[in-house]
Structure 1
Amino acid sequence: MYQPKKYRKKDPLYIFNFIKAHPFATFVLKGERLLATHIPVLITGTPDDFVLYAHIANHNEQFSFLKDGLEALLIFQGAHGYVSSSWYKEKDISTWDYSAVHVNVKLKIQTAGELESSLDDLVAKFEKNQEKPLFFQDYPRDIVEEHLPLITGFWCNPFKVEAVAKLHQGYDKEDIGSVTRHLEKMDDPLATQLSKNIKEENN
């Protein structure tokens, strides 16, 4: 990961919470070429000692390369967007603000029981706020048994974690105010969240 010093994030709590807030990750591994899949990834443990877990479909091209000890990369991305130089009080260059976490991991294939427990966790996380939630244990058992053999779950044990947040650090309040106002005028949820992130980063 490219990490200019002023944008580098090292706080374990920041990284832990970032992953929890942005669970839809890019899962990259080396097969016959570099392969990537976009999947939800859950995190368990503490900021100083965590494990990630996920699953992919067995018809995914990545499946044939999955094995214990395989190295993979998980990329978690936050809100991002273009920032026009026309928004500054003085001429400057345009840029792109963003935040991301990269986690290099070693894989361990889950047992059937671990996979089922993982799916229970996954559905619970995203179903709990529904008006009438339908949890994993509520699924008809024949449907569960039909689908479980079609997917493979795996643990992701981190060995390198890197994080970056390029959010206009070092700019004066007037320029930051202008940037955030312009982002909010876009009436776009991603731009609105980016504006919020810039404000939080710059107090």
Structure 2
Amino acid sequence: MFQPDKYKKKDRQYIFDFIKAHPFATFVIKGKELLATHIPILIKGDPHKFMLYGHIAQANEQYPHLEDGLEGILIFHGAQAYVSSSWYKEVNISTWDYSAVHVNVKLKLQSREELVQSLKELVWHFEKEQKDPIYYEDLPQEMIDDHLPLITGFWCEPIKVQAIAKLHQGFEKDDIQSVTRHLEERGDALSSELSKNIKKEHGTGN
């Protein structure tokens, strides 16, 4: 990952919380060519020692290449948006603000029992806030039995972790206020979230 020093995020708590908040990741491995899939990835452990895990369909072109010890990269994406130079007090260059975490990992395939437990945790994680949640245990057993043979789960042991948050560090207060205001005026969720991230980075409140 290209990481200018002023944008690097080294705090392990920040990285841990970022992954938890942005679980839909890009999973990249090397087969006959570079292969990528977009999947939910969960994290367990603590900021200083954690494990990641997920699963893919066996119909996925990545599946034949999965094996213990295979290296891959998980990319977790935060809010991002274009920032126009017209928003600055003085003439400057347009840019793009964003945040992301890259985790280089080694894979270990899950047993059927581990996969079932992982699926229970995955469904619980995303269903628990629903008004009428349907948990893994609520699904018909026949549906589960039909589904399980078609997917493969895996653990992802981190071997390198990098994080970046490019949030207009080094800009003056007036420009920060202008950028965040313009982002909010766009009215879309990503721009609004990015505005919040910029304000938090610069300690300018909500």
Give the structure-2-normalised TM-score. 0.98
User: What letter corresponds to residue 35 of structure 1 in structure 2?
Assistant: L
Q: Letter of the aligned partner of 1:95 in structure 2?
A: T
Determine whether 1:3 maps to 2:15: no
Classify the secondary structure of the residue corresponding to 1:106: strand
Q: Which runs of 4+ in 1 moved over 2 A?
A: none
1:111-130 aligned at under 5 Å gives the runs: 111-130=111-130
Tell me the residue number matched to 1:44: 44
Q: One-letter code of the match for 1:161?
A: V
Identity of aligned residues (%): 65
Question: Which deviations, in whole Å up to 9, do the C-alpha atoms of 1:155-192 show, x marking residues without a partner?
Answer: 00000000000000111110000000000000100000
Question: CA offset at residue 93 of structure 1?
Answer: 0.2
Q: What 5-or-longer segments of structure 1 have no aligned partner?
A: none
Q: Find the aligned partners of 1:137 and 1:118 in 2 and give their Cα distance.
A: 12
Cα RMSD over matched residues? 0.3
Amino acid of the structure 1 residue aligned with 2:185: K
Look up the SS of the partner of 1:61 in the other structure. Answer: coil
Give per-residue Cα distances to partners, 1:53-74, cap 9 Å, x unaligned.
Answer: 0000000000000000000000
| Counterpart in the other structure of 1:172 | 172
Q: Aligned equivalents of 1:180 and 1:36: distance in 2?
A: 33
Paired residue total: 203
Matched residue, 1:155: 155
Which residue of structure 1 aligns with residue 104 of structure 2? 104
Task: Return 5+ residue gaps in structure 2 as ranges.
Answer: none
Q: Following TM superposition, by how much is the alpha carbon of 1:17 offset from its aligned partner in structure 2, in angstroms?
A: 0.2
Output one character per residue of 1:21-68: Cα deviation in whole Å (capped at 9) or x when no partner: 000000000000000000000000000000000000000000000000
* SS at 2:92 equivalent: coil
